[in-house]
A and B are shown apart, each in its own frame.
Chain A
Amino acid sequence: MRVTTPMALLGVLLLAALPALLPAGLLNAAIQMLIAALFACAYSLLSGRAGMLSFGHAAYFGVGAFATVHAMKAFGGAGLLPTPLLPLVGALAGLGFGIVAGWFATQRSGTTFAMITLAIAELLHAIAPQLKGWFGGESGISTMRMPAWGLSFGSTQQVYYLALAWVLLSLALLYFHAATPMGRLTLALRENSHRLGFLGYDAHGLGVSAFALSAMLSGIAGSLQVVSNEAVNYVVFDAGVSAAVVLNSYIGGVGTFLGPALGAALMTFFSYAVSDATQSWLLYQGVLFVLVMMVLPGGLTGLVSTTARLVGRHGFAAVLPLALLALGAALLLSAGTVFVVEAVQRIFSQDYRSLARMAASLPPITMFAHAWQPAAASTWLVPAALLATGAAFAWSARARLAALTRGTESNALEAAAPAIS
């Protein structure tokens, strides 16, 4: 699927209009989505465009964040470094650290490369709580956003626009990079680094350049996080942060330009929307990731482009029932799974077990504003019915897809593999 200029403009306009459309709480989530989107795009420059799978990108995000918090304290948002320019500090810190870390990590490729990146991030995570002066110990460092350029930066709205501006600028840079000699060579590096050497190119230097650029953009994302939260602590180096950016990028579609951004925005939104309602968010995230990897190697963007291709080849009317069936299957299966997970989680919770021990019977559990009897068959018939119907829908969708693509030479699901930009 190609993103055309009018579509991109429309997207930017929509993002610019968001503060007028959203309540303040959601706008805060939108800022987190923007930051996660930028982080995922930065990550995908390395893993998608340069073909190097990093498992420790939290390091560059965190370094950008800490550099920014120190800059905020030192300059007080005035003089050379007014608040809107703070992400420059994150960019520089990310770039500098990225050059050093990248110089070591890109000496190797594949699994060894991934392990080196993991080790660098873990090193920071282990060392940060010890260095109180730099990283503020367990409690971290907090600071204040200062007014600059006639703006107070006191409102969420202004922070949103600041983040939006930096994210758009970074995405534009990434887009431009793909069309420059260095960007084209980054693709070639992924394809065949061996041959690059025999064409007179320094493959290691190219690897470092991609690594450093990715770290720089990650630093900007970390910087924006600090500007938004006015605080940071060493947890930003956590392996979970590194893992989240990998998951987000692959769920969105790592081979595409905007896929990682969409994946990250979507997952951040869900975690925001769902984390209050459930304690099992991480489980859902993991299940979703496994499913996407198994059935949609191209990620969600791959799904969209496959659908677009099917529509193009067979017409909208032929694809619509298939799409509705697939959507229905997805909703029903998710509903059934959520029901089971939530019920099990409640039944096995400590509170519930002590309640049950005292009552000497199984008290009802409250879920979806309804009291369910855990021992009643009718309770479990609900998810069973949801799952069975969902499976039937999925089966039927599969059969329809097979009927639709029969005779055409390429399997649509295989074609869902990421398009090469």
Chain B
Amino acid sequence: MTQMTQPILSVQGLRKSFGETEIIRGIDLELAAGERRALIGPNGAGKSTLFHLISGQLAPSAGSIVFDRQRIDGWTPQRINRRGLARSFQITNIFPKLSVFENVRIAAMQRHRVQYTFWRLLERMARVREQAERLLEQVRLQGRAATLAGELSYSEQRSLELAMTLASDPKLVLLDEPMAGMSSEETQYTLQLIREVTVGRALLLVEHDMEVVFSLADRVSVLVYGEVIATGTPEEIRAHQGVREAYLGEEAAA
């Protein structure tokens, strides 16, 4: 956005149709390095689809996505992830019958490039273990390390999801409703945690809790029916008449 710094993520004219229906209808979006951006909008606005497009789950119908000076639209998820873009999922997406520790360890060992290593014991890789333990501590799951991930409570699984997303030390983190289903204490803790762990990284966040959005985001983009209708600081968005009508409604008035 400024000439000084290249944007870490730049989306241009992005479109996605499913058959006749166009879900994403020409989105332009730029994220500066280190920026925390929230994406808000009513249900069905296309927030999750946009995440799927950026993270490689879906290929766009038209438009370009440039991440870290590389065009990534149409890439596979693993290629995008290795480039430094990690995402979490709205519907918890973990390894349910493996232990919590194993879930995080599998996520953490990726950057050690050991996918095809069959001659070393994972147990002996001290750095992977330390990283996994540190991540578990960060999301306060160290006491649940031996539990099967599928047996965690819903909010604990959200924390695990977050730990797994952060494990690859990404440059850009996409978080899809990380606080959904959390108590207010957990939400406060996770809010602080996200603030800490995203220092030095860019963040794109979808969240319905407006308190979280306005206290965490540097800037907010509003997505309605597959288009970004406004982007600005939390104050600007609060004051924006179109946004109030389209989306915030009573929440902003309150």
Contact = CB atoms under 8 A, between A and B. Distances in A.
A181 B122 contact: yes
Given A185-B106, A200-B81, A195 B55 contact: no
Interface stretch (A107-115, A202-210, A302-310, A350-358): A202-210
Chain A's interface: helix, strand, loop or mixed, by majority? helix
Contacts of B182: none
Leading 6 A-B pairs by shortest Cβ distance: A200-B81, A191-B95, A197-B77, A181-B114, A200-B110, A182-B118
B192 interface: no
Interface string A172-207: 000011011111110110011011111111110110
A198 B95 contact: no
A195 B95 contact: yes
Interface string B152-170: 0000000000001001100
A420 interface: yes
Given A197-B76, A199-B106, A420-B97, A180 B82 contact: no
B97 A199 contact: no
B86 interface: yes
Contacts of B121: 176, 179-180
Given A179-B121, A180-B119, A202 B102 contact: no
Contacts of A194: 93
Given A184-B106, A206-B115, A198 B87 contact: yes
Interface of B: 55-57, 76-78, 81-82, 86-87, 89, 93-98, 102, 105-107, 109-111, 114-123, 125, 148, 164, 167-168
Interface of A: 176-177, 179-185, 187-188, 191-192, 194-203, 205-206, 209, 420
Contact of A205 (B57, B111, B115, B119): B115
Given A188-B95, A195-B94, A182 B106 contact: no
A185 B81 CA distance: 17
A379 B57 CA distance: 68
24 contacts: A180-B118, A180-B120, A180-B122, A181-B109, A181-B114, A181-B115, A181-B118, A181-B122, A182-B115, A182-B116, A183-B122, A184-B102, A185-B115, A187-B102, A188-B98, A188-B102, A192-B96, A195-B93, A197-B77, A198-B87, A199-B106, A199-B168, A201-B110, A205-B116
A354 B82 CA distance: 75
A202 B115 contact: yes
Given A180-B120, A184-B106, 10 more contacts: A176-B121, A181-B120, A187-B95, A191-B98, A198-B57, A199-B106, A199-B167, A199-B168, A200-B78, A420-B148
Nearest to A191: B95
A194 B52 CA distance: 13
Contacts of A182: 114-118
Nearest to B102: A184
B110 A199 contact: yes
Contacts of A205: 115-116
